[in-house]
Amino acid sequence: MSELSSFQTLQALSDLLTPPCDSDEDDNVRPSARMGPGHIGPPAVAEKGSNTQKRGNKNIWEDGEVVEGAEFDDLSDPRPQPEYDVILKQSVGTEDLFLGMSRKDPSSMCCESILVKVKLPETKASEVVLDVKETFLDLRTPKFKLGFHLPHAVHHEDGKAKFFSEQGELVITLPMNRPMDDVNLP
């Protein structure tokens, strides 16, 4: 009985049950364990054309990397920024309000234009210089300077501006430019 429980007996049993192994430990590892995330998919191919264009081009940034309106940022300009409000506007008819015949709802997704109200006290309409890009609004007067990015892209050529000299307020209406509006909205 003492022979069955001895260490040599257990060692002999272990040698019988385990297959002979080499000194190389990688043989026991499955092939899937040798692969990593970089082995999934086709091997990467270096693009030769893009490197030659980047070498010959002296621009620091690509056109898509430059934020629109960055040319208007003038940190040395001491003029203060006027008070302004950005309001999303939607035209609602009786069929929308009472009958619910269209798919319009009060969310900002159904808005059709952006209304920007800028308070310009002690300013004349002839002193206002307004420049609107697709995503940036730049407003300058002798006393104020306003430049900000619009929350949505707009049709900058179709916008309207009205100056109310009694209140000293400029109201700018800009129709939104959303590519899928014809499909999503009635």
Q: pLDDT over 90 for what percent of the chain?
A: 33
Residues 158, 155: Cα–Cα separation, whole Å: 6
Q: What is the pLDDT of residue 119?
A: 95
pLDDT in tens, 4-59: 567 888 888 888 888 776 555 555 556 556 677 777 777 777 665 555 455 667 77
Q: Alpha helices of the chain — where are they, by DSSP H?
A: 7-17, 31-34, 48-56, 94, 181-184
Residues 71-184, CATH architecture: Sandwich (2.60)
Q: Give domain limits for the chain.
A: 71-184
Q: What integer pLDDT is reported at residue 52 of this predicted model? A: 47
Output the pTM of the full model.
0.57
Which segment, 68-72, 131-135, 180-184, is predicted with the most confidence on average? 131-135
pLDDT value at residue 132:
93
Residue 154's pLDDT is 92
Q: CA triplet 82, 168, 141: central angle to 5 degrees?
A: 50
